[in-house]
Each structure stands twice: as structure tokens, then as C-alpha cells.
Structure 1
Amino acid sequence: MTDPEAKLYRKSSHQGADLYYIGPALMENCKALVIEATVTPANGTAEREAALAMVKKVARGKGKRQRITLGADKNYDTQEFLGALQGRKVTPHVAQNNTSRASSAMDGRTTRHEGSKVSQRIRKRVEEIFGWMKTVGNYRSPKYRGADREGWHFTLVAAAYNLVRMRNILRASPA
């Protein structure tokens, strides 16, 4: 309640506004490891802005020729976000927002491919990461004041998740 950097944010129309930070994470699809995590003050576009910044970092490491894909939920189905991804040579595999208020910004060129359907199934695994962080990682509510300190805490919990995940992957692989 006393953090000056946190912003009032309403998670749903049935809830009141509270002080929040947004903690988006970028997950790699093969092993479900967190490859990028950040914390930003909450607002209506913070997740999309953070995703573009994280994708820029990841795409830079892949080289100029290799195209990457990004799976995301309905919140990312906007013309601005999808246009920005296309400018960065990122194929969006975004869940379509087919509500009565708005139509989807995704077109049939992307959604007709089998890779898009597979990505939509796999992207739900990112929720397992957030579930682990909240229960096992004790990251249900902010523990520190300030976005920098909270960002370090979020990154530390994400790294702990990766260590546990890697241990489980190594145990499951044949020796």
C-alpha cells in the first residue's frame, strides 16, 4: 500500500483496483523454461510492451535470418502488438479475441498452420510456471518496495523454477 511505483490495476471487471506490478515471462516451448522475465508497473498495455522488449532481446540472440514464434493469450490480440511483431520478424501464435466487443486482429494466414494450433496448446504451460512461482516459490504478493527490487525477486524465483525444472528434465531423460 505504500509503494509509490506500483499502480492501481483491476484484474477483472468483478474486482476492485489494487496496487500491482505486472510480471510477464517468456517461456521456451520445448522444455518449458523461462528465458526472460521482467516486472513493470501495471497498466493496460504493460504486458504487451514488456513482451515486445523481451522478444527484441531474444530475437537479437537468434540472428537476423532465423524467424521465431510467440505464443500468447487473448490480451495480446491487438493490431499494434501484432504489427510490431511482424516488423521484428516474429510469427505471432496469439489466442484469438472473439468477444462481442471486439474482433480478432489475427488473420487466417497465421491461424491456418498446424504450428499455430500446437503453439496454442503448449503456451498454456506458462501458467504452470506462474502457479509454481505462487505456491512453491512464495511469490503470491510483492515482498519489496520498488520495481527494481521486485524485479530482482521475480527473476530469482523464475531462476529457481528453471533449476527445479532442469533437475526434473534430467531425471526423466534416459541415462
Structure 2
Amino acid sequence: MISYVSLEERIGKDHPLRKVRQLVDGLLKSMDGEFSQMYSRVGRPSIPPERLLRALLLQIFYSVRSERLLMEQLDYNLLFRWFIGLAIDEPVWNHAVFSKNRERLLNEEVTQQFFARVNQLASGFMSDEHFTVDRTLIEAWARQKSFQRKAGDGTQDGGNFHGEKRSNETHESKTDPESRRYKKGKGQEANLSYLGHIVIENRNGLIREVMSTQADGQAETDAALLMAAKIARPGKRVKLGADKAYDRKDFVTTVRELGVTMHVAQNNKGRRSAIDGRTTRHEGYRMSLSKRWLVEKAFGWMKQTGGLKKIKLRGLDKVGWLVTYTAAAYNLLRIKTLQEKFA
């Protein structure tokens, strides 16, 4: 059967992905120099990095849980083919080939460049004075039984660990050695996890900075310090909101030295807060705390829609670039919405 209707004609003029595709086209065109260096002049042709990035965006947007299912969708979903740039009769890649090319071509450096280009597009919608920082727990792709002694004698295989004292100092996951056992609070289960950290701007809830770390008690403030240094502006006081977990005297003092005023929620339970009335009396402090829901909204989308609730990659490097790329995908959808709102 011969069809005279092109893929372009099959996609509705008002489809939400049309505007996203226009944004992605411009972003990828601006990265032509980086992509040209990735093509090998020998061996079999690889999947173009531009198509890899487009396919990964679709996987995030539509919560496709595996590369195998993504390739299945590409085989029959005309919308997916149109977005990536595949012709209607063009063969789809093998899922293993797709995964290998993704690991070889896409890394933290490329993802950070893409995230930076997305934020250049969003610059007109971003505040440069008011921000919020937070972190979220990302469950690793490893079972509790894989958490075994680092220098085991072979008598314990992790199958029966009841009654055994286990810690990150003496044990590690044999499946994902860079993951760490971590729990959100007292009385909660400790799972093998990573931490994702973001800084959002408080005007429209766009993600300004993002990074991932191993899960430990010091990581949240260490990451916040690194991100605070990036948003600091010489000669201008920047405000950074945060929850009670960041109410630590040494952390607040160090951030202030960077030229950033911390608007943390006070933790006065059995201790003295790191901030006092000189900060809390201002209306700006109350406004900062009222904007904390924006960071929860971003994390909620990244974990439920973007698939970061339980990440399917292993190792901090891979987890880091996927978290960053998911943040870029979130910002792309926000930019589309904001451009339509203020058109």
C-alpha cells in the first residue's frame, strides 16, 4: 500500500510536542561542533548523537521504562518517529545497540552542555536573585541482598542478613558499589540510594543547577555549597531558601561568605537555629519559604514522570548524567508552557 500522507501531516498542528521539537531543533543545531567530534571515521556507523538525545527525551516525557520498550514504540509509533527524525520505513535500532551507543556517546560533559543550552533559552524567565535548594533520594538499581561485607570471607552471601549489623563502612553493594544505604529519617527503611540535588529559581520554578552525589549525611550541604557558589553574583545579594535539614551553623556561615543569604526553615527542636530575627523579620524570608513547593514540584515530575524514583543505571557517573538530562527535559516543558503563556 502506498501512502501519500507524510509524517509531518499526520502530527496535529497543535500537538504539544511541536513546540518542544522546535526548541530541541535549535538546541541541537547549536551543538553541531560537539556532535561532529563524536562521529567515528572508521568502523560501522553509529547512531547519530542528535537522534540519541531526541529518543532519550521521549523516554523521559512518556515514562518509557526501558530501551527495549522504547525501540518497540519507535517501530510503530509515528509520533515518536516524527520527533526523532526517522522516516516511516526506516529500520529501528536494536535495543542493545541503542544502549551501547548511549553509553559511548553521551556522558556528563555532553549532558551539562545540553542543560546549559536549555537554560540559555530559559534565561528570560529566570530570576537571578531568589532561589531554593533541596535534595531527593534516588533509589539505586540494586537489591538489599547485594549489600555484603567488603572483605568477606565467603561465608555470607547476603541472602540472610537478619541480626547482622551492616553499615557503609563495612559493607558495599556487589551490584552497584557506588550506591550507599541511606534513609530519609528516623524509623524509616534504609535503601541503597543516591542523592539528587537541584537549585530552582523562585519566579517560574525552572531548575538553575543540578548535580548528583553518593548518599551520606554531609552530601546535601556539600552539594548546596557548590551550587550556591555558581549562583552567587559579585556585588549583589542572592537569597537561597531551604528546609530544616540545611539549618547548620557552619553551612549557613560559609554560604554567607559567598554573598548568598540563606533563608532556611528554622530548626529549634532541642537546639538553636543558625539564623535569627535579623533574617526572619524580613518579608523576603517568608516569601522564600512560601516558594519551597516549587522544588517539590520539580522533584515530583522528575521521579514520577522522568523515572528517577528508582534509577535503572548503575554508577555515580551514569546516574549523574541521567539526573541532569531529566532536569533539562523538565525545563524544556516549562519553557514551552511559559512561552505560550506570555506569547
TM-score tier after normalising by the smaller chain length: over 0.9
Residues 95-154 of structure 1: CA deviation (Å, up to 9, x unaligned): 11122x333211111111000000100122100000011111111112211111100000
Q: Aligned letter for 1:110?
A: T
Where does residue 201 of structure 2 map in the other structure?
A: 28
1:73 to 243, 264, 267: 243
Where does residue 183 of structure 2 map in the other structure?
A: 10
Where does residue 127 of structure 1 map in the other structure?
A: 296
Quick one: distance in 2 between partners of 1:105 and 1:58?
21
Specify every segment of 5 or more residues in structure 1 that has no aligned partner in the other structure, as ranges.
Answer: none
Q: Aligned letter for 1:77?
A: D
Quick one: distance in 2 between partners of 1:102 and 1:42?
25
Quick one: distance in 2 between partners of 1:156 and 1:83?
32
Structure 1: which 4+ aligned runs deviate by more than 6 Å? none
What secondary structure sits across from 1:137 in the alignment? coil
1:144 to 291, 297, 313: 313
Quick one: distance in 2 between partners of 1:152 and 1:96?
33
Q: Map 1:104-119; keep pairs closer than 5 Å.
A: 104-119=273-288
Q: Percent identity?
A: 46
Quick one: distance in 2 between partners of 1:71 and 1:21?
22
Quick one: distance in 2 between partners of 1:120 and 1:20?
27
What secondary structure sits across from 1:38 in the alignment? strand
Q: TM-score w.r.t. structure 1 length?
A: 0.93
Q: Aligned letter for 2:201?
A: E
Quick one: distance in 2 between partners of 1:137 and 1:17?
23
1:54 to 220, 227, 235: 227
Greater Rg by CA: 2
Quick one: distance in 2 between partners of 1:43 and 1:51?
14
What secondary structure sits across from 1:154 in the alignment? helix
Give the length in aligned residue pairs.
170
Root mean square deviation, CA, Å: 1.1
Q: Is residue 97 of structure 1 aligned with residue 270 of structure 2? A: no
